[in-house]
């Protein structure tokens, strides 16, 4: 079956909507359940914002599905929003004790963390934990890793004096120190200790490209082969008749030894004809492919792309990886650790952004999320569930920020009321709400701008 670009974009939208609807529903359900527990009347429960598409009243609450699926809300009875009958004031949210309001606000983010734990537990229990040795088996062409002198077979021991246990540590420590310079202590393929250094201040464009997610640092634990795994619909390779499982033997009559050789020839021939000799089902065939010309993010020079993803060397991948299958209790324990670590990383990044040590390009919008949703779903259900878990935790952390309009702002206002023993004035709340609204508008502008840059450069 051939998939078109329209199918691809519809797939992105579909998997994004499934993910965001699940996360928002769970979040708002947290507010709803705790509010009902304390006897607060919930007038409306909406998934999405804007025009109501459909609604149903049940248990004194109007349940709605609204047009813009980028959030949701629960609207509780509140004397500040209109007249309330005297007999119903006991059910009004704003007249509850501050500690009750704090718990109602906190319930939404809390249940996002619970969802994260549940989904990560399921993923760990079903898929196991894969640990990759910190061994470099491929270095990307013209990457920062190549500039640092990395070679295939380098075994990474330390990064900026911190011990490395597996390849996930390599990825994490590289990103954490990307803007401050990197020093890797390695054992090369011949068994000799080496130092690989990167002064990232010399390569601002490359660093920005990595932070935008448009390129990587260039270190890979797997070796990529010259066998095709996936072909993008309507891309140059597809138009040339190439298919999954084809093995590329020659490009422009030059023998293709490995993926590095393959990628180099494609990159260096944007919008130029390339003669291709490939093998399919034991037989050899010839075709001509004309790579698309794309501007490389890091230096704005044109490079060729044909729209394929190549297979990794499975034998080497198995040799360099260990899989451990935890029992259910261990899976839950590891999921708590994962959520805790992930939360710590998000707060660390937010802190660096606030003090100006990390770029705003780290903030992603719904377009990037939709792309990740589609990519993870294409890999498999468990990978997609892990993506939903990660986004759920991120939304939980974000909503706890002490910003009016967000749950964290409501917690802050309620705490101030608790300490002062009186509610904040309408003027104080209105001022805070305006600041919160401006913050969200600015954040959305940055997120959508970053999405635009990621797509169009």
- The residues assigned a catalytic role are 28
Tokens (6 digits) for 204: 């601002």
Tokens (6 digits) for 8: 């691809």
Rounded to a whole number of angstroms, the distance between the first and last alpha carbons of the chain is 31
- Per DSSP, the residues of 270-304 read TTS-EEEEEEETTEEEEEEE-PEEEE-TTT--EEE
Helices 98-127 and 5-37, axial angle in degrees (round to 10):
130
Q: How far is CA 47 from the centre of its chain?
A: 22
Residue pair 30/108 in contact by the 8 Å Cβ criterion: yes
What's the rounded Cα separation, in Å, for the pair 392 and 382? 15
Helices 426-456 and 366-379, axial angle in degrees (round to 10):
60
Residue pair 62/43 in contact by the 8 Å Cβ criterion: yes
Q: Where are the beta strands (DSSP E) in 123-223?
A: 129-132, 138-139, 155-159, 162-163, 182-187, 193-198, 219-220
Q: Where are the beta strands (DSSP E) in 266-412?
A: 274-280, 283-289, 292-295, 302-305, 308-312, 321-324
* Pairing label, strands 224-231, 308-312: antiparallel
Strand, helix or coil for residue 68: strand
């Amino acid at each position: 079956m051939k998939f078109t670009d329209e199918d691809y974009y519809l797939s992105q939208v579909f998997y994004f909507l499934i993910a965001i609807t699940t996360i928002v529903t769970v979040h708002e359900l947290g507010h709803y359940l705790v509010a009902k527990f304390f006897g607060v009347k919930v007038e409306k429960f909406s998934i999405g914002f804007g025009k109501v598409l459909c609604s149903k009243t049940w248990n004194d609450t109007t349940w709605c599905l609204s047009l813009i699926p980028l959030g949701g809300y629960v609207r509780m009875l509140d004397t500040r929003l209109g007249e309330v009958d005297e007999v119903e004031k006991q059910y009004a949210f704003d007249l509850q004790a501050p500690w009750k309001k704090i718990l109602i606000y906190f319930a939404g983010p809390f249940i996002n963390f619970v969802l994260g734990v549940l989904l990560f537990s399921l993923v760990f229990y079903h898929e196991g934990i894969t640990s990759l040795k910190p061994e470099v088996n491929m270095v990307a062409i013209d990457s920062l890793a190549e500039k640092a002198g990395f070679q295939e077979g380098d075994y990474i021991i330390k990064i900026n004096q911190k011990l490395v246990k597996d390849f996930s540590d390599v990825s994490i420590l590289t990103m954490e120190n990307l803007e401050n310079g990197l020093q890797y202590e390695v054992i090369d393929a011949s068994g000799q200790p080496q130092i690989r250094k990167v002064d990232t201040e010399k390569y601002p464009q490359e660093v920005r490209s990595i932070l935008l997610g448009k390129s990587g640092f260039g270190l890979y634990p797997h070796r990529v082969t010259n066998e095709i795994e996936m072909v993008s619909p309507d891309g140059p390779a597809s138009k040339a008749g190439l298919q999954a499982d084809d093995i590329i033997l020659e490009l422009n009559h030059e023998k293709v030894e490995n993926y590095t050789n393959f990628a180099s020839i494609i990159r260096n021939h944007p919008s130029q004809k390339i003669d291709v000799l490939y093998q399919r089902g034991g037989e050899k065939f010839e075709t001509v492919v004309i790579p698309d010309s794309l501007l490389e993010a890091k230096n704005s020079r044109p490079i060729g792309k044909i729209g394929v993803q190549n297979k990794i060397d499975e034998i080497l991948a198995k040799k360099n990886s260990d899989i451990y299958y935890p029992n259910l209790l261990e899976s839950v324990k590891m999921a708590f650790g994962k959520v805790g670590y992930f939360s710590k990383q998000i707060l660390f990044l937010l802190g660096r952004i606030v003090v100006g040590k990390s770029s705003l390009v780290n903030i992603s919008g719904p377009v990037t999320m939709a792309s990740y949703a589609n990519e993870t779903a294409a890999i498999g259900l468990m990978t997609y569930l892990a993506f939903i878990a990660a986004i759920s935790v991120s939304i939980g952390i974000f909503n706890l920020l002490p910003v009016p309009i967000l749950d964290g702002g409501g917690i802050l206002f309620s705490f101030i009321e608790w300490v002062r023993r009186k509610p904040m004035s309408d003027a104080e709340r209105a001022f805070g709400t305006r600041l919160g609204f401006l913050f969200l508008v600015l954040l959305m502008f940055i997120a959508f701008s970053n999405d635009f840059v990621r797509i169009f450069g």
